[in-house]
Amino acid sequence: MNIGFIGTGVMGTGMINNLLKANFSVTVYNRTKKHATNVLENGAKWADSPKEVAQKSDLVITIVGFPKDVREVYYSDKGIFAGIHSNMILVDMTTSTPKLAQEIAKTAEQKGIAALDAPVSGGDIGAKNGTLTIMVGGKSNDFERAKPILSVMGNSIKLFGSNGQGQNAKMANQIMIAGTMTGMTESLLYAQKAGLDLNFLIDMIKGGSAQNWSMTNYGPRILQNDFAPGFAAKHFLKDLRIALSTAKEMGLNLPATQEAEKLYKKMVEVNNLGNLGTQGLIKIY
């Protein structure tokens, strides 16, 4: 099977490299070709547009920045839908809106092809190691066709229901992460102020009921003054806003998530730290 992949950022690079290691033929596109250097050196082929990627692929994966980028990649004159052919599967792994996932699926169905929304969790570490959690929305038969490819990139892959439900599952995931990121930040600050050994603290939390992915993976980075983006804060702010907007449509109030959104807004839009990893939240305290 020929795989197309659009988006060679931090996440996409690790995912593509795992597909290449599994001996898949992968054709890639990115708005900035320079950012695809790593995967091209590892054997990926270049295409000059999303349309060309679609023309050369049986299954196309997208993981880009924002919903507006997703729309452009799929619907522009040189977008994916301009290059589709029969029996294709389109898999958007961007964290985007449930409504856009449903729109893409409807367009795909009208054109006689399949579409899935399959956002991921696990950050740069999960992308590199092929251990992502993948949350899928779409038809079960399309999911089964795509699952062998998804399994190269993740080790927890669940179908949550119809198109859009993968995105809803990701929103629930991001709401949880919002709590662990603010909790991790304030836990470390409290411990530092109290004069505790922060390395001991992290080890202790790993073994107790407060254990969480954020502290295990991002806590040590903070102690090493490493704020490189495993997941950029500007994208997390985008996710929180999608979650809150969708919750509002459902008549649901999420006050803790609203507070997290305010903190990340301060980090990204007031302090211009959006390109740092989410662990950079500690810099605004």
Largest CA distance in the chain: 64
51 assigned to active site: no
- Closest CA relative to residue 222, chosen from 168, 158, 285, 143: 285
E-strand ranges in the chain read: 2-6, 25-29, 45-46, 59-62, 89-92, 114-117, 120-121, 132-137, 154-161
Catalytic residue among 51, 128, 170, 234: 170
Distance CA 57, CA 44 (A): 13
Distance CA 151, CA 281 (A): 32
Coil/strand/helix, residue 252: coil
β-bridge pairing 132-137 and 120-121: antiparallel
Reported residue count of the chain is 285
Residue 97 near residue 246 (C-beta atoms within 8 A)? yes
Residue 88 near residue 113 (C-beta atoms within 8 A)? yes
Q: If you search the block for the tokens 């922060």, which residue do you land on?
A: 198
Q: If you search the block for the tokens 């931090």, which residue do you land on?
A: 10
Distance CA 259, CA 264 (A): 9
β-bridge pairing 114-117 and 89-92: parallel
Residue numbers annotated as active site:
170
